Amino acid sequence: MNLILATSLAAAGLVAGWGQRAVIVRYAVPAGDPPLRCCPDCGHRLLDARQLGLAPLARCGACGSRTGPPPLAVEVTTALLLGALAARVHPGLVLAAACWLALCSVPLAFIDAAVRRLPDVLTGPAFAGTALLLLTAASADGHWHVLARAGLGGVALSGFCLVLALVSPSGMGMGDVKAAAGLGTMMAWQGWTALIAGGFAGFLLAAVYGAALMISGRATRKYQMPFGPFMIVGALLVILTGA
Domain ranges of the chain: 1-70, 89-241
- % residues pLDDT > 90 (the chain): 67
In the chain, % helix, strand, coil (3-state, to 5) comes to: 70, 0, 30
Does the pLDDT value for residue 121 go beyond 80? Answer: yes
50 pLDDT tier (thresholds 50, 70, 90): very low
For the residues of 119-156, what is the DSSP string, one character each? -HHHHHHHHHHHHHHHHHHHHHHT-HHHHHHHHHHHHH
Q: Using the 8-state DSSP alphabet, how is residue 233 labeled?
A: H
Distance CA 12, CA 18 (A): 10
Contact assessment for residue 126 and residue 104, using Cβ atoms and an 8 Å cutoff = yes
pLDDT in tens, 213-225: 888 888 777 778 8
Please list, in sequence order, all residues whose beta carbon lies within 8 angstroms of the beta carbon of residue 24, skipping any fewer than 6 positions away: 53, 68, 69, 74, 107, 110, 111, 114
pTM of the model: 0.90
Contact assessment for residue 147 and residue 199, using Cβ atoms and an 8 Å cutoff = no
* Mean pLDDT to the nearest integer, 138-144: 93
pLDDT in tens, 72-88: 899 999 999 999 999 99
Q: Classify burial at 18, counting beta carbons within 10 Å of its beta carbon; exposed 0-12, middle 13-18, buried 19 or more.
A: middle
22 pLDDT tier (thresholds 50, 70, 90): confident
- pLDDT at site 243: 58
Residue 133 β-bridge partners: none
- pLDDT at site 70: 87
